[in-house]
Amino acid sequence: MQKKIAFKYRNRCRKLIKSMYKFRYEYLLLLPIIIFFILFNYIPMFGATIAFKEFNFKLGIFKSPWIGFYNFRRLFGSISFMQVFLNTIIISFLKIIFCFPAPIILALIINEIESIKLKKFFQTVSYMPYFFSWVIIAIIIEELLSPSHGVVNYIISLFGKEPIYFLTEAGMFRGIIIVSALWQSVGWGTIIYLAAITGIDTVQYEAAYIDGATRFQIIRRIIIPSILPVISIMLILTLGGIMNAGFEQIFNLYNPMVYKTGDIIDTYVYRIGLVDFNYSYATAVNLFKNTIGFVLLFSTNIVVRKLGEGENALW
């Protein structure tokens, strides 16, 4: 029995080696990506152990004393963390509500445009902001909303109103975050759904026209069901990253005046870890965030698999 198992194992190894040699050039192209993930995603995982230690620079990661779940008890007992956690959940859910369906709707609208030139124009204009860094976008937003020379406050002053300090108003900050995120990401997301729509068999359209279907009925009965697997996968990935509310965006726009509604886990970890040098506690917070994201990713995939009989699941 053991000889049979060893024989099968050797055969599988030979087949794997032959396959790798056959596609050696493809594997060479893949090698830089593998090295990147090993260096920046897997090796840093060893550093997560400092969440359970009282980290000391002189002693290093491995020699620092263990303190168990002290940082996690401190985390759950912190009022400031609970506020940050709530902000993260609220901002992420608002982004899902407004930013997730927007590319789908825009893709359906662009698909209905008959002029190819006009279609390309709207595509280019919509996804161009995606290539701007959040530093540039933050500068644009600050200029537009400036109380002294911003366009928005200039229009407000025409109606005899006092200028509004948008970026220092805690109640308005989340709205600014959602609008700017929508403007920056909607075009890029549209490309994915337009590609899915392009892959639909044109025979289905012809059959629908022969049956006398309206354009709205074609969208409802053919296009949306056809791109549903893509929508499901994007939803799984979005919900899996629900704890990532957008560090770069918020970091470049927020200030102490809006911490109450705009401070999220990532910006909190930045201040605690890199500003206050409390690395162990910051690591514990980030580890807790990633654990929730991991659970949500698997849970969403299971739900989608059950509802769609495995057809629309990620794995």
Convert the pLDDT of each residue in 33-70 to its tens digit.
999 989 988 888 888 889 999 888 888 888 889 998 99
pLDDT at 12: 80
Mean pLDDT along residues 67-96: 91
Convert the pLDDT of each residue in 217-264 to its tens digit.
888 889 998 898 888 888 888 887 888 888 999 999 998 899 999 999
pLDDT at 263: 92
pLDDT at 315: 66
- What is the gyration radius of the CA atoms in the chain, in angstroms? 25
pLDDT at 90: 93
* Angular region, 160: left φ>0, alpha ψ -120 to 50, beta rest: left
% of the chain at pLDDT higher than 90: 34
Quote the DSSP letter at residue 159: T
Domain annotation for the chain: domains and CATH numbers = 1-68 (no CATH), 76-308 (1.10.3720.10)
Strand partners for 66: 53
pLDDT at 314: 62
Is the pLDDT at 136 greater than 90, yes or no? yes
Residue 252 makes CB contacts below 8 A (sequence gap 6+) with 134, 135, 137, 138
SS3 content of the chain, % helix, strand, coil (to 5): 80, 0, 20
Confidence of residue 95 (pLDDT cuts 50, 70, 90): very high
Please, are residues 182 and 147 in contact by the beta-carbon 8 Å criterion? no
Is the pLDDT at 309 greater than 80, yes or no? no
Calpha distance 248→138 (Å, rounded): 10
